[in-house]
Structure 1
Amino acid sequence: MKKLILIAVLSFATVGMAQDKYSKGMQKAFQLWKSEKPQEAANLFERIAMAEMDNWLPYYYVAQVNTIISFGETDKEKLTQQLNKAQEFIDLAKAISPDNAEILIQQAMINTAWIAFDGATYGMTLSGQNVALYAKAAEIAPENPRVVFSKAEWDMGSARYFGKDTTPYCKDVERSLELFANFKPETDFHPNWGKDRAEMILKGCKEL
């Protein structure tokens, strides 16, 4: 009996140490990102992912960092390297957590980065994929504020591209802010972004 109790205690201690190491690593990676060191943050998220092979979050953040730094990038070789890395890690995240609305939104962001770089080459194929991704994300998590906002922003961009009125989508941005107000991420490390940008977009709506 004593041996069983000792084994149980040691097991919990080991798990606790591993979780503590994970938490400290994630906190450091976010701090690097906040300090405008995205590449260092992405590298740390990648190392955490290699140690947390059943946790989709560090994979997701490798993809997200590499996607965000690709917007505005004009060097095709560099952009391709970054977005290929993002795709590799979001595919791994999908394998760990299928039918995850946050991952679907991140996939759409990768597609959007390609379209923003070269709409003539990537717009036709990836735009249709994004419509399907946002529809599926809305089906899975209709009350997720990032799903509502990201779809609204995509719809606004599409309307703007085709010379159509973006006003009808302002109500969706407003609804996303209502959802943001009550949203609680599952853990400190789960996605919790988007509110600031939604507020900025809504302000633009009211100025129209």
Structure 2
Amino acid sequence: MKSISLLLAITFSIGMQAQSKYEQGMRKAFELWEAEKLDEASNLFERIATAEKDNWLPDYYVAQIQVLKSWDMKDEAVLKAQLDKAQEYVNMMKTKAGENVYALQMQAQLYTAWIAYDGMKYGMKYAGTVGQLYDKAVQMEPENPMLVLSKAEWDMGSASYFGTPIEPYCDDVRRAEKLFTTFTPETEFHPSYGAERVAEVLKKCNK
């Protein structure tokens, strides 16, 4: 009995040490990100992703950083390298998590970055898919404010591009605002951003 108890204690201790190392690494990566050291943060998330065989969160943040770096990028070769890397980590997310709303969201953001770079070239290729990805994500988690807001922003952008009213989507932004007041991420490392953006998006509705 003592040997079994000792084995359980050792196993628990090893598990706690591994969890602690993961948590420390994630917190450090977010600190680097907050300090605008995006490449360093991405590199650390990559190392964590390699160690975390079943955890999609570090993969998500690698992809997100690469997509964020791609906005306003003028050099297509650099853009392609960044978005190819983002796609690699979105694919890893899908492998680890399967049908995951955040993989759908990140795939949509990645395609949107291509469209933002060259709407004429990539709009017809990706625009329909982006809408479908957001539709599917919101259907899977209709009370997730990040997904509701992301879809509303995409719909508003599409409406503006085609010269149609954005007002029908303003209610979705307001619903996201309400959902953010009660939203609690699954863990401290799960995506939880967007609440501060609602006011900025609503300005477009009040013009």
Q: Which residue of 1 aligns with 2:204?
A: 204
Rounded Cα–Cα distance in structure 1 between residues aligned with 2:4 and 2:161 = 66
Paired residues, number? 207
Cα distance in 2 for partners of 1:103, 1:195 equals 20
Superposition pairs for residues 100-179 of structure 1, below 5 Å?
100-179=100-179
Structure 2 Cα separation of the partners of residues 40 and 94 of structure 1: 24
Amino acid of the structure 2 residue aligned with 1:16 = M
Post-superposition shift, 1:2?
Answer: 1.2
Task: Provide Cα deviations, 1:48-86, integer angstroms capped at 9, x if missing partner.
Answer: 000111100000100001001101111111111110000
TM-score (norm 1): 0.97
Contact 1:99–1:140 under 8 Å retained in 2: no
Q: Cα deviation per residue 1:137-187 (whole Å; 9 max; x = unaligned)?
A: 011101100111001000000011111111221111000010011000010
Equivalent position amino acid for 1:198 in 2 = V
Aligned counterpart, 2:11: 11
RMSD: 0.8
Distance of 1:93 and 1:100 partners within structure 2: 8
Q: CA deviation at 1:203?
A: 2.8
**Alignment-derived partner of residue 192 in structure 1:** 192
Query: One-letter code of the match for 1:107?
Result: Q
Identity in percent: 51
State the one-letter code of the partner of 2:29.
A
Deviation, 1:204, is 3.0
Q: Distance in 2 between matches of 1:157 and 1:139?
A: 20
Give 2:61's aligned amino acid. Answer: Y
Aligned to 1:62: 62
Gaps spanning 5+ residues in structure 2: where? none
TM-score, L = length of structure 2: 0.98
Structure 2 counterparts to residues 66-77 of structure 1, below 5 A = 66-77=66-77
| Structure 2 letter corresponding to 1:42 | S
Q: Which residue pairs with 2:45 in the alignment?
A: 45
Amino acid at match of 1:167: E
CA distance in structure 2 between the aligned counterparts of 1:80 and 1:91, rounded to whole angstroms: 16
Between the aligned partners of 1:60 and 1:176, the Cα distance in structure 2 is: 22
C-alpha distance in structure 2 between counterparts of 1:150 and 1:142, whole Å: 12
CA distance in 2, matches of 1:73, 1:37: 18
CA distance in 1, matches of 2:195, 2:100: 20
Residue segments in structure 1 that go unaligned for 5+ positions in a row: none
- 1:161 counterpart SS class: helix
Deviation at 1:3, TM superposition (A): 1.2
* In structure 2, C-alpha distance between the alignment counterparts of 1:34 and 1:119, rounded to whole Å: 31
C-alpha distance in 2 between matches for 1:95 and 1:174? 34
Q: In structure 1, what is the equivalent of residue 78 of structure 2?
A: 78
Q: Residue 130 of structure 1: CA displacement? A: 0.7
